[in-house]
Every structure is written in structure tokens, then in C-alpha cells.
């Protein structure tokens, strides 16, 4: 069948890399794609939120499956758009419907869901411009650090953690009164700070059945030792060594099963990936957030460890027969290191030629913010490329990634040299 992937990051290149060799995939398209997907699929210059243009691509190319990479089209209701259209309703869409995508689209909605289904998470309250004074009073009852979250999508920047009570109150005012994140901060969730080590758990569900994919840990801060500004993610490791069988069984029993049951009870139609952001507090997992898609760069270590044919898995999701499938996971560890443009996550330059890719041995370069221009591969974003390697241990894998990075170059290339340092 013909398949379309929506998105243009390292995540989408990895999904394309996994789908392209499948016997079940005839023609693969990526919208809009990048220089990595251009090599293994056909890129189509269409925005992931332009549903009418996507419809035309699907009909013109007889596409029967659409895999949605990022959250925006899901929160905007792309799955519902397909179901409501006579010509598109039989196309399989991998990604939840709009009502369920609110788990990522609204932090308040996610917290209400977690509480309602008794899933462990941080205590919280939600405020708006009218209740800002109550928000200040609530902050006074908490101990630092203070965690403030813009309710809506804010391109990964909507969570602010502050140590000083006056700064926390000023931030609450900036979000609610001064619309710091536009309409995304019309409401703000203030929650208890959870102290522990983070990991991500990825679940594929058909709405009834579920499969837990390998765990991963990403490194969000720009600086070594987890310092400096937040980024989309600077590297990742899978599996997470501290997520042993006892801990995974707590995640399954206390979090994954109640989440899948909760989706059904609340009538939230879900055929896709659930990304559960977790924090290990003492010996117990608590949910920090839900995302309704795969993580980036976690995908770059999770999918390479999945041995199953991804198209077969997605067909089972579409047909609600995921219970018939057994996941096969590569025993090896996988790690990835993200190469970023100098200056990222603040201002950076684009259009820098990337050289040395042909010299990579034993690693995979998943392209992110990179495009083909005049037959050259040039940077086009902050996060440029994720270098993934396998190893018997994550230490061995990470060494391989760093050895290959030595062979790569672009002007002002930056990356973290300590991925996995805390494991
Ligand atoms: P999010 O945008 O929801 O992924 O949050 C960004 C980051 O903020 C998370 O990855 C955590 O590191 C941190 N964070 C969010 N909520 C909490 C919390 N309740 N306690 C401690 N850290 C948190
Ligand atoms: N790496 C975190 C995310 O994809 O949201």
C-alpha cells in the first residue's frame, strides 16, 4: 500500500526508515520531510496542518495509511477530518482523534484525566485571569521549586520551574494577564514539584489493546550535566537501565492499564502512540505529562530496537487486532546524540553545509533540521541530525555515536558530550 508520514524531524525520518523496507509498503511519501526522508521516500511540500492539501496528496497518490508524527495536526483534529470525509474515511490514520489528543493539547484536561482514573501524578490546581489572586495564594502554600504550566500547546516552552516565590508570582501574572504564551496560557496549571529521575514510556494502542514499547530517556537541557535552557531533546538512551522488571510492572499496573481503560471509559478514541512522561520518585513512577505521539529524539532509539514490521503493527492498530501481535525487541542498547546549530535553542543560523556523512560507519544518521539545497545537505533548523548507534551496553553504543560525530562537520555544530551521564 501507499503510505504518507506527516512531519519533518528526526522522528519522522526514523519512522520512514522503519517503514520503507516493509514488504507492505509500495510508495512512501513524507510531508514535508527533510534531506533524510528525501533519500528513502518522496517528499511533498505540504504543511502538516493544511488538511485540504493533505487530502489532495492522499487522493492523488492512492494513500491508504497516514502516520502522524507531531502533535499539532492531532490536536487540530486531523483524524476526525479523515473520518468525516467520504473519500478519506477508509484511510487508516495513526494518531488519536481530537478529543483524545486533548491529553497533550490541555494540561488541565490531562490532570483531570489522571485524577479521575487514580493514576499517580503531582498534586495541582488550575487558574485563569479571574482567579490569579487565588493562584498567588496557592503558590504561598507550596514549597519551592514552583512548577507553572501553560495549559495549551506552547512549542515545548510552556513549563516554567522557579525557586523564588516572587518570581513564581510574576511568572503566573505574565502567563495569565500578559498572555506570555498567547492563548496557550489562558489557563495555568500549578503543580507540586516532583523530585526524581525522568524516563519516557511509549505505548501503542488500538483503543482496546496496547503494547508497551522499549523505555527511553531523553536529555532536554542544552548544557552538559543537565544545565541551561530546555530544548526539544539533545540525545536519548534505550532501554533505561533503572527501569527493571519490578519498576516496569508498577508502570504497567498503575499507569498504562488505567490509562487505556480510562480512554475507553471516557470515550476518547485512540489509535496511535501514547507517550507517557514519567518521573521516578523514590521507587514509584508518577506521570508528568502525556503526549499523543512519539517523542523526538526518543523515537531515534526506540524504533531501531523494534524488530516487528511497523506497517503490520499499524494495520493491527487500525483494525483493533493489536492483541494478536507479539512485540520483538532487540536486546541491544541504542543511543542517539543530537547535533544542533550553534546558538540553539536561542537564535541560530541556517543554511550551513553538512559534510562527512559518507564516512559514518556503524551508526545511523537520522536527519532532522536538514534539507537538500543545490545537491548539498544544509542545516535548516536548530536540531539538525541525530546520530544513533547500537551496543551491547549503552556505554558502547554512545562511544560509537561520538566516534562517528568526529567525522561530521557544519559551521558552529554543537552537541552534548555527556548523553547517559546520569545512568
Ligand atoms: P513538559 O513540557 O510537561 O515535558 O515539562 C518539561 C519538563 O519540566 C519535564 O520534562 C520535567 O523535567 C519538568 N517538570 C514538569 N512537571 C514537573 C513536576 N511536577 N515536578 C518536577 N519537574 C517537572
Ligand atoms: N523529547 C521530548 C518530546 O518529544 O516531547
CATH number at residue 32: 3.40.50.20
Pocket test residue of 296, 299, 303, 366 for ligand 2, highest count of atoms within 8 A of CB: 296
Are 18 and 90 found together in one domain? yes
Closest approach atom of ligand 1 to CA 156: 2
Contact call for residues 135 and 172 (beta carbons, < 8 A): yes
Q: Is 194 in the pocket of ligand 1 (CB under 6 A)?
A: yes
Domain boundary among 191, 213, 242: 191
Closest approach atom of ligand 2 to CA 156: 5
Q: Is 288 in the pocket of ligand 1 (CB under 6 A)?
A: yes
Closest approach atom of ligand 1 to CA 122: 19
* Ligand at shortest distance from the CA of 292: 2
Burial class (CB in 10 A: 0-12, 13-18, 19+), 67: buried
Answer whether residue 46 is part of any domain: yes
pLDDT tens, the chain, 423 aa long: 999 999 999 999 999 999 999 999 999 999 999 999 999 999 999 999 999 999 999 999 999 999 999 999 999 999 999 999 999 999 999 999 999 999 999 999 999 999 999 999 999 999 999 999 999 999 999 999 999 999 999 887 889 999 999 999 999 999 999 999 999 999 999 999 999 999 999 999 999 999 999 999 999 999 999 999 889 999 999 999 999 999 999 999 999 999 999 999 999 999 999 999 999 999 999 999 999 999 999 999 999 999 999 999 999 999 999 999 999 999 999 999 999 999 999 999 999 999 999 999 999 999 999 999 999 999 999 999 999 999 999 999 999 999 999 999 999 999 999 999 988
Q: How many CB atoms lie within 10 A of CB 356?
A: 14
Are 127 and 77 found together in one domain? no
Answer whether residue 17 is part of any domain: yes
Are 7 and 86 found together in one domain? yes
Q: What pLDDT, on the 0 to 100 scale, is given for residue 155?
A: 81
Closest residue (by CA) to atom 3 of ligand 2?
Answer: 295
Domain boundary among 158, 191, 224: 191
Domain boundary among 51, 79, 96: 96
DSSP per residue, 109-136: HHHHHHHHTT--B--EEEEEGGGHHHHH
Answer whether residue 32 is part of any domain: yes
Q: What pLDDT, on the 0 to 100 scale, is given for residue 363?
A: 98
Are 12 and 88 found together in one domain? yes
Are 85 and 157 found together in one domain? no
Are 88 and 129 found together in one domain? no
Q: What pLDDT, on the 0 to 100 scale, is given for residue 319?
A: 98
Write b or e for each residue in 195-221: b if 16 or more Cβ atoms lie within 10 A of its Cβ, otherwise e.
Answer: eeebbbbbbbbbbebbbbbbbbbbbeb
Answer whether residue 419 is part of any domain: no
* Ligand at shortest distance from the CA of 153: 1
Q: Is 125 in the pocket of ligand 2 (CB under 6 A)?
A: no
Are 134 and 60 found together in one domain? no
Are 27 and 75 found together in one domain? yes
Answer whether residue 182 is part of any domain: yes
Q: Is 193 in the pocket of ligand 1 (CB under 6 A)?
A: yes
Q: What pLDDT, on the 0 to 100 scale, is given for residue 71?
A: 96
Q: Is 198 in the pocket of ligand 1 (CB under 6 A)?
A: yes
* Ligand at shortest distance from the CA of 194: 1
Q: How far is ligand 2, taken at its centre, from the CA of residue 11, in Å? A: 10
Residue 138, domain CATH: 3.30.1490.20
Q: Is 120 in the pocket of ligand 1 (CB under 6 A)?
A: no
Rounded to two decimals, the pTM is 0.96
Answer whether residue 179 is part of any domain: yes
Answer whether residue 30 is part of any domain: yes
Distance in angstroms (rounded) separating the CA atoms of residues 402 and 398: 6
Which domain does 58 fall in, by range? 2-96
Q: In total, how many domains does the chain have?
A: 2
Answer whether residue 362 is part of any domain: no
Amino acid at each position: 500500500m501507499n503510505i504518507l508520514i506527516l512531519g519533518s524531524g528526526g522522528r519522522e525520518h526514523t519512522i520512514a526508515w522503519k517503514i520503507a523496507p516493509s514488504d507492505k509498503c509500495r510508495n512512501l511519501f513524507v510531508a514535508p520531510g527533510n534531506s533524510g526522508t528525501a533519500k528513502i521516500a518522496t517528499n511533498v511540500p505540504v504543511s502538516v496542518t493544511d488538511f485540504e492539501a493533505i487530502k489532495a496528496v492522499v487522493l492523488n497518490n492512492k494513500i491508504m495509511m497516514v502516520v502522524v508524527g507531531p502533535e499539532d495536526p492531532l490536536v487540530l483534529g486531523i483524524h476526525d477530518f479523515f473520518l468525516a470525509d467520504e473519500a478519506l474515511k477508509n484511510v487508516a490514520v495513526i494518531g488519536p482523534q481530537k478529543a483524545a489528543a486533548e491529553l497533550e493539547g490541555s494540561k488541565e484536561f490531562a490532570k483531570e484525566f489522571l485524577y479521575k482514573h487514580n493514576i499517580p501524578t503531582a498534586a495541582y490546581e488550575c487558574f485563569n485571569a479571574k482567579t490569579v489572586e487565588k493562584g498567588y495564594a496557592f503558590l504561598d502554600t507550596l514549597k519551592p521549586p514552583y512548577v507553572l504550566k501553560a495549559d495549551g500547546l506552547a512549542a515545548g516552552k510552556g513549563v516554567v520551574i522557579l525557586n523564588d516565590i516572587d518570581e513564581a508570582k510574576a511568572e503566573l501574572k505574565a502567563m495569565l494577564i500578559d498572555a506570555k504564551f498567547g492563548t496557550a496560557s489562558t489557563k495555568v496549571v500549578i503543580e507540586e514539584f516532583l523530585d526524581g529521575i525522568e524516563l519516557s514510556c511509549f505505548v501503542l494502542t488500538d483503543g482496546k489493546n496496547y503494547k508497551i514499547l522499549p523505555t527511553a530517556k531523553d536529555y532536554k537541557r542544552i548544557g552538559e550535566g543537565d544545565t541551561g535552557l530546555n530544548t526539544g531533546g539533545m540525545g536519548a538512551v534505550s532501554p533505561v537501565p533503572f527501569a527493571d522488571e519490578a519498576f516496569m510492572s508498577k508502570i504497567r499496573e498503575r499507569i498504562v492499564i488505567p490509562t487505556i481503560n480510562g480512554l475507553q471509559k471516557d470515550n476518547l478514541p485512540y489509535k496511535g502512540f501514547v507517550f507517557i512522561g514519567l518521573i521516578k520518585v523514590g521507587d514509584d513512577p508518577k506521570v508528568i505529562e502525556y503526549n499523543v505521539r512519539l517523542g523526538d529524539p526518543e523515537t531515534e532509539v526506540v524504533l531501531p530496537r523494534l524488530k516487528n514490521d511497523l506497517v503490520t503493527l499499524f494495520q493491527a492498530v487500525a483494525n483493533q487486532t493489536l492483541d494478536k501481535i507479539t512485540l520483538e525487541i532487540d536486546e541491544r542498547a541504542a543511543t542517539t546524540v543530537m547535533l544542533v546549530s550553534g546558538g540553539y535553542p536561542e537564535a541560530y543560523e541556517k543554511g550551513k553545509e553538512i559534510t562527512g556523512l559518507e564516512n559514518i560507519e556503524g551508526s545511523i544518521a537520522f536527519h532532522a533540521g536538514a534539507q537538500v539545497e543545490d545537491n548539498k545537505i544544509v542545516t535548516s533548523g536548530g536540531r539538525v541530525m541525530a546520530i544513533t548507534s547500537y551496543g551491547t551496553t549503552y556505554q558502547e553504543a554512545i562511544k560509537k555515536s561520538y566516534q562517528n560525530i568526529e567525522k561530521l562537520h557544519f559551521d558552529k555544530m554543537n552537541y552534548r558530550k555527556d548523553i547517559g551521564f546520569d545512568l
